[in-house]
Amino acid sequence: MKILGIETSCDDTAVGIVEDGRNIISNIVFSQADMHSEFGGIIPEVASREHIVKIIPGINKALNEARMNLNDIDAVSVTYGPGLAGSLLIGVNTAKSMAIASGLPFIGINHIEGHIYATCLEDIELKEKPGFPIISLVVSGGHTDLILMKGHGDFQIIARSRDDAAGEVFDKVARVLGLGFPGGPEIQKISESGNLLDPAFPRPKVKNSMDFSFSGLKTSVVRRAESMGVYPKKDDNDVDQKIADIAKSFQEAIVDTIVKNTINAVKRFKAKGLIIGGGVASNQLLRNVFKKESPIELLIPRPSLCTDNGAMIASAAYFRLKNNLTYQWDLDVYPSLRIDSN
Ligand code: KG4
Ligand code: ZN
């Protein structure tokens, strides 16, 4: 079964075609990062206008690369939430029109569910191996969620961030340090030439809860940047090493916090597998530390499948269709959709 997946929840116009939930036939991503970097963050109106321009070329490119036309496709799937309303609308309306016009099944997918199923694109069958329950950590620009998955389509959020999402913190810290957008890859790159600061940044914990909180860490980074003369920005070459040191120490602190919290959840729920997904899961340090620390089978898609893409939506749709968990034509966009309300 070949499913076309459309993803326009944020600032990437993405279309993928996947066979049987695991085999990527094509996966096109038109990034808007350059457009938004000018403003240091995503401007929703700019994002949705760009989706309008790119969505049809994206679909055509995905079909061309797959050497297919719409007659070869068995179903159309799309992200319907969570995300930016204007951006989601472009994907949902395009997918619906395509599915109605070509008489194909239409499957709405939760974006977070897509990040979880990106793992299956590494040729993994979750039910057989590692088997349920699975703990999934989705760390992206909008989410830091720990999800207990007891079966396909059976999700329970067991912890979230009480304030900023992990990717948002990477982006904000990068802005304070005068680095580009998105901040995660910039922080990872500059950290390579940094040294760990003493004292280290705090590893924030929420009392009696598995929830995350990053606002204390963020404030601590801003204060240190001020005291080291890095922020507000100075046009001075000798701040470069200080920026690298702060970036490396911040990355170390946030990764440590995320990994510890996640491993605690794995032990508490006696999970058989641990999935990591979302843009921040492409961070090399996070991947390395999880590989070292995970007490159970660890499943992390390659970095290009951790950031937003259409193939992950098509994969999630395959397992929904297989388990009769599909939607009606009146499905609308749902900007604040939760994964446990599907
Ligand atoms: O999943 P994603 O592509 O889009 C959302 O659904 O939000 O995640 C984007 C986020 C951004 O905040 C970006 O800074 C972060 O993922 N990110 C990274 C890295 N690559 C992307 N964070 C840390 N290290 C990276 N290498
Ligand atoms: Zn995402």
Q: Do 146 and 230 share a domain, yes or no?
A: yes
Q: Do 158 and 224 share a domain, yes or no?
A: yes
Exposure class string for 148-183: b at 16+ Cβ within 10 A, else e:
bbeebbebebbbbbebbbbbbbbbbbbbbbbbebbb
C-alpha neighbours within 13 Å on the C-beta side of residue 57: 8
Q: Do 136 and 236 share a domain, yes or no?
A: yes
Q: 280 CB less than 6 Å from ligand 1?
A: yes
Residue 260 domain flag: yes
Q: Do 34 and 147 share a domain, yes or no?
A: no
pLDDT digits (tens, 9 = 90+) for 135-174: 999 999 999 999 999 999 899 999 999 999 999 999 999 9
For a substitution probing ligand 1, which of 112, 138, 140 has the most ligand atoms within 8 Å of its CB? Answer: 140
Q: Do 260 and 146 share a domain, yes or no?
A: yes
Q: Which atom of ligand 1 is nearest to the CA of 168?
A: 12
Q: Which atom of ligand 1 is nearest to the CA of 278?
A: 1
Residue 95 domain flag: yes
Q: Do 178 and 52 share a domain, yes or no?
A: no
Counting the structural domains of the chain, the total is 2
User: What's residue 189's pLDDT?
Assistant: 98
Euclidean distance between CA atoms 37 and 179, whole angstroms: 10
User: What's residue 154's pLDDT?
Assistant: 94
* pTM confidence score: 0.95
- 293 burial (CB, 10 Å; 0-12 / 13-18 / 19+) is middle
Task: Collect the ranges in the chain with pLDDT lower than 70.
Answer: 326-327, 342
Q: Do 287 and 309 share a domain, yes or no?
A: no
Could you list the residue range(s) of the whole structural domain that residue 90 is in? 2-118+304-341
CATH number (domain holding residue 235): 3.30.420.40
Q: Do 172 and 28 share a domain, yes or no?
A: no
* DSSP, residue by residue, 163-178: SS-HHHHHHHHHHHTT
Q: Do 191 and 108 share a domain, yes or no?
A: no
User: What's residue 330's pLDDT?
Assistant: 86
Q: Do 61 and 87 share a domain, yes or no?
A: yes
Q: 87 CB less than 6 Å from ligand 1?
A: no
Q: Which ligand is nearest to the CA of 307?
A: 1
Q: Do 284 and 142 share a domain, yes or no?
A: yes
Q: Do 168 and 269 share a domain, yes or no?
A: yes
Euclidean distance between CA atoms 270 and 217, whole angstroms: 29
Residue 203 domain flag: yes
